[in-house]
Structures are given as C-alpha cells and as structure tokens.
Amino acid sequence: MATLHTVNKNGQPLELCLRVVNKGDSLLLIEDGVYALFEVPDILAELIKDVSLYVLEADVLARGVSNRNELEIELVDYQGFVSLTETNEKTLSWF
C-alpha cells in the first residue's frame, strides 16, 4: 500500500518522514518544506532512487527556489496534489 507523505518544513518533520518512507511511496514538499531543494539536495538525490519526489509549484514560486533542475523532481499544482491523494491510499502529513 503506497503512501503519500507531505512535508511542510525542514528539520524534524523531514527527518522523521525519511525514517519511515518506504520504497514506492511518494513525497510531496509543500510550504517551507520546498527549501529542502536547497538545504538537503544530496539527501533528495539519494531518496529519489526509491521514492517519487514532488514539490508544490505555488510554494516553489512564492519562495523563488525554482532553479533546481538538476534534480529530477516533478512540479505539481494543487490538481496534481489532489491526484497524488487519489493514487495513494493513505496520506501522512509531517509538520
């Protein structure tokens, strides 16, 4: 059973999420969580091998962190966020 994890800030919420995230899960960075693109790009680069990684477009644009094209992370809008909650049976919110 795949799970969608949302992370809305770095530090403990992201760390705790990384402890329990399983292969095949999806992780969506939202709100201040999108700063992970800059703060922990190496961790994300490793994570992306097993986990589908997404960032919420509106939060990326609001914070000007949009130039991390070297990481293959998909930008999603709110419709995309909804789609992720459709395809994953459970959503865990880390905050």
Partner 1 sequence: MNYALAVYGATGNSQAGQTALSFAKAVLASGHSISRIFFYQDGVQNASSLSNPPQDEVNLPSEWQALVQQHGIDAVVCIAAALRRGIVDAGEAERYQLPANNLAEGFELSGLGQLLESLIETDRLITFGA
Q: Nearer to partner 1 by C-beta: 44 or 76? A: 76
Interface contacts to partner 1, rule CB under 8 A: 8, 13, 30-32, 56, 58, 77-79, 81-83, 85-86, 91, 93-95
CA distances (Å), origin 35, targets 7, 22, 24, 85 = 11, 22, 23, 22
Q: Give the three-state DSSP class for 55.
A: strand
Q: Nearer to partner 1 by C-beta: 17 or 73? A: 17
CB contact at 8 A, 83 and 4: no
From CA 75, how far away is CA 67, in angstroms rounded?
A: 12
Q: Give the three-state DSSP class for 6.
A: strand
Q: Nearer to partner 1 by C-beta: 46 or 83? A: 83
For the CB of residue 76, give the shortest distance to partner 1 in the complex, in Å: 10
For the CB of residue 71, give the shortest distance to partner 1 in the complex, in Å: 22
Q: Nearer to partner 1 by C-beta: 50 or 74? A: 74
